[in-house]
Chains A and B, each alone.
Chain A
Amino acid sequence: MSGVEGYMYPNEVTLYWSVLIVLYPYITGLVAGAFILASLERVFRVDAVKPIYRLALLTALAFLLDAPLPLQFHLGHPERSYEMYFTPHATSAMAMFGYVYMWYLMAVLVFEIWLDYRREIVLLSQQSKGLMRVIYKIMTLGSNNISERSLRIDEKVGWIVTLIGIPSAFLLHGYVGFIFGSLKSNPWWSSPLMPVVFIFSAMVSGIAAVMLIYMAVTKLRHQKIDMRCVDAVAMYMFYIFIIDFSLEMLDLVHRIYEADESFRSLDFMVHTKLYFSQIVLQIFIGTLVPLILLFLTQVGQFGEIARKRIYVLCGSLILIGVFAMRWNVVIGGQLFSKSFLGYTTYKMALVTREGLLAAIGLTILPLFFLWVLLKLLPPWPKKEMQEAAAGD
């Protein structure tokens, strides 16, 4: 019973949603955010973010491939997870996961990437050798047609897919927020704002992640960072961040003012067990500091190097802050007793299936996926390929 203060119902002493369930909304959030960023170029015709479009799509795909893994690791019986597809329970928010995930993965992301890359895939299937040739051949689905007209059609279809993709991205992540927001048993979660807050913080974190990945990858390739693009990305990140922050504050103010039966208990928790992760990490370091810095870049005149540094700092702080937000929601929601009479402690395991190492591994894994995707489908125009295409 160690780690318990006050009174917990005896079955509440152990936390059943671990750090992996923190990771899961975090990663789906990055997916949604990255996709929204890509759609800026495609649907809203923001030319400045063009250099980042394909990278954003591939980042979204890499993280989406990783997203179900924390859930699988967390399940007591992962071998039964197919039941979610075969007998989904209509009243369960969680049951929708399988379908929303599959829809988003196949009908939106993979389809859009395939349409966008089809020309390259066909060319690569003709130019490369050995195993790579086979892989690209399969990816063409047996069609080598890259005529002007077919590519124009692809462009139009891709636009429609992106258009469908935006609500899909909202759905994917909004539903994650709904999983928490719809539980009347838990006053820390139960809020209609939860899905909305999740979506906006997801967008901010996804944009930050793509921005950082773009800057890092460009640096590794010894190329010049397109500042017009990064400035535009940072601007959008700033605006969405303001919305996100306003919503979170609205939620907070509402809770404080309404002060229902759970308030004293939750208020105490925020000032003690969650003080560091909520007040310090999430609100101060993860929100106020990057907001102020981003505000300064919007109103002030900074040199290129200074802006880059500010963006890298802000991006990193935002990623930490949004992770802290997910942590505070998931873990915070289980630290207090539903009797409002006590608190328990989350003891993170190290090497178990739901431990810290698994969490770190699952955080790094999408970067590996991304590396493979970048090798397979380079998002930047290759000189040789363009020449080959010209001579085709």
Chain B
Amino acid sequence: MSGFKDVSHLFRFAGLFVIAFLVFLVVRVYVVPKSFGEYGHYRAAAIGEIAAHPIKFAGHQACESCHSDIADTKAKGAHAHVNCEACHGALATHANDPSSMTPVKPDTLVLCARCHTASAAKPKGFPQVNPADHMGGVPCQTCHNPHSPAIGSDTGKGAAAGGTK
């Protein structure tokens, strides 16, 4: 027995480790999130939480469901593949409840220039103008219908103002 006596203190130290390890195992059960490891080394519930982020851009399908007249005009012109919110901005609030807000009409002088101001950096085939020479401060929709910009197609304020019903 005396043989063990001289090493007993080592077992006391080892005992600390065993206790710490057992505490670790118990705590682990409570601390690790339930869905952790469901698909991989992460919290599976996080996927749903990220997917629950609210939407700000309604998507053109939603716009077209009410504004089918504009969609028809647009489909014929060069802007057929420009989505509504590319120019009108994020409008999920409006799409959700049209009466809650009326979208502000973009200022064409600013809006059109953003894409169509001439720059040698832009792809060659892209229609570009020098705003100062081109119209000298006259708003673009005076001559162009933003929804179908070729002159003579369906020009003027009336067409641009569509979708108010």
Contact = CB atoms under 8 A, between A and B. Distances in A.
Interface of A: 82, 85-87, 89-90, 106-107, 111, 114, 118, 140-143, 145, 147, 149-150, 153, 157
Contacts of A153: 6-7, 10
Given A85-B24, A118-B9, 13 more contacts: A86-B27, A87-B32, A90-B41, A106-B17, A114-B13, A141-B16, A142-B12, A145-B5, A145-B8, A149-B6, A150-B7, A153-B6, A153-B7
B36 A87 contact: yes
A114 B17 CA distance: 14
B41 A150 contact: no
A107 B6 CA distance: 20
Contacts of A85: 24
Contacts of B31: 82, 86
10 contacts: A86-B28, A86-B31, A90-B41, A114-B13, A141-B16, A143-B8, A145-B9, A150-B7, A153-B7, A153-B10
Contact of B41 (A89, A107, A147): A89
Nearest to A141: B12
Contact of B12 (A90, A143, A147, A149): A143
Given A106-B17, A150-B7, A86 B12 contact: no
Interface string B4-44: 01111110110011000000100110011000100001000
Interface in B89-125: none
A82 B41 CA distance: 16
A131 B126 CA distance: 84
B49 to A, nearest CB: 16
Top 3 nearest A-B pairs (CB, nearest first) are: A143-B9, A150-B6, A141-B12
Interface residues of B, number: 17
Contact of B10 (A86, A140, A157): A157
Given A87-B41, A150-B6, A111 B36 contact: no
Interface in B143-160: none
B36 A147 contact: no
Nearest to B33: A87
Contacts of B24: 85
A149 B10 CA distance: 13
Nearest to A85: B24
A269 B36 CA distance: 43
A257 B13 CA distance: 53
Nearest to B43: A87
Nearest to B30: A86
B42 to A, nearest CB: 9
Contacts of B12: 141-143
A141 B9 contact: yes
A107 B9 CA distance: 15
A147 B36 CA distance: 51
Contacts of B41: 87, 89-90
Contacts of B13: 111, 114, 141
- Residue from A85, A106, A107, A143 having most chain B Cβ neighbours under 10 A: A143
Nearest to A82: B31
Contacts of A107: 17
A37 to B, nearest CB: 24
Contacts of B36: 87
A82 B10 CA distance: 29
Contacts of B7: 150, 153
Contacts of B16: 141
A147 B6 contact: yes
Nearest to A88: B41
A55 B17 CA distance: 26
B36 to A, nearest CB: 6
B63 to A, nearest CB: 31
A16 B24 CA distance: 32
- Residue from A107, A141, A142, A153 having most chain B Cβ neighbours under 10 A: A141
- Residue from B13, B16, B32, B41 having most chain A Cβ neighbours under 10 A: B13
Contacts of A140: 9
Nearest to A95: B41
A142 B12 CA distance: 8
Contacts of A82: 31
- Residue from B6, B9, B24 having most chain A Cβ neighbours under 10 A: B9
A140 B13 CA distance: 10
A49 to B, nearest CB: 26
Nearest to B27: A86
- Residue from A87, A90, A114, A140 having most chain B Cβ neighbours under 10 A: A87
Contacts of A143: 8-9, 12
A87 B41 CA distance: 8
Contacts of A157: 10
Nearest to B28: A86
A145 B11 CA distance: 13
B6 to A, nearest CB: 4
A141 B16 CA distance: 9
- Residue from B6, B24, B31 having most chain A Cβ neighbours under 10 A: B6
B7 to A, nearest CB: 6
Contacts of A114: 13
